[in-house]
Amino acid sequence: MRTHAAPSQASPVRRWTLAATLLVVNGFLQIADVATTVAILSAGGAEGNPVSQAVMHHGGIGLWIVIKILIAMALMMMVLPVINAERRNPRTIHACLTLFTGLMAVVLLNNGLIIYEHVL
């Protein structure tokens, strides 16, 4: 009789597949966030995030995009330990990735509602 491995003992391929899927989804959400934010700003809207607003005020939208790229790169670097379950807890990393991806989805939904109500 075959028994199933505990989630923490999942194969490195399965851990990597989940992490890579979350990263790809997050990457698309980041790109969509940039596109919808630019659309809102082009239509005369304002950035709602005070940190992003300060970055845009002092460095322009180009600096904001660079910072978003750096955050995405940091997220990818965080995923690398998923392959080696002995060094880090993969559940924690997957939970963080899922939370961050969910947060980006909420941001994108908010941007979509703003565009729908004020731009279209």
Give alpha helix (H) positions in 1-120.
12-42, 50-79, 90-114
Look at residue 99 and tell me if it is in a domain. Answer: yes
Alpha carbon 56 to its chain centroid, in Å, reads 19
CA distance linking residue 43 with residue 35, whole number of Å: 12
Look at residue 108 and tell me if it is in a domain. Answer: yes
Look at residue 106 and tell me if it is in a domain. Answer: yes
60 — alpha (psi -120 to 50), left (phi > 0) or beta? left
Domain that holds residue 109: 14-81+88-119
Look at residue 7 and tell me if it is in a domain. Answer: no
Look at residue 64 and tell me if it is in a domain. Answer: yes
pTM for the full model? 0.75
CA distance linking residue 22 with residue 16, whole number of Å: 10
Look at residue 63 and tell me if it is in a domain. Answer: yes
CA distance linking residue 87 with residue 41, whole number of Å: 43
Q: Write out pLDDT tens, residues 87-106.
A: 566 677 778 788 888 998 99
Look at residue 4 and tell me if it is in a domain. Answer: no
| pLDDT for the residue numbered 6 | 53
- The structural domain count of the chain equals 1
| pLDDT for the residue numbered 95 | 82
Under 8 Å CB-to-CB from 7, ≥6 apart: which residues?
A: 91
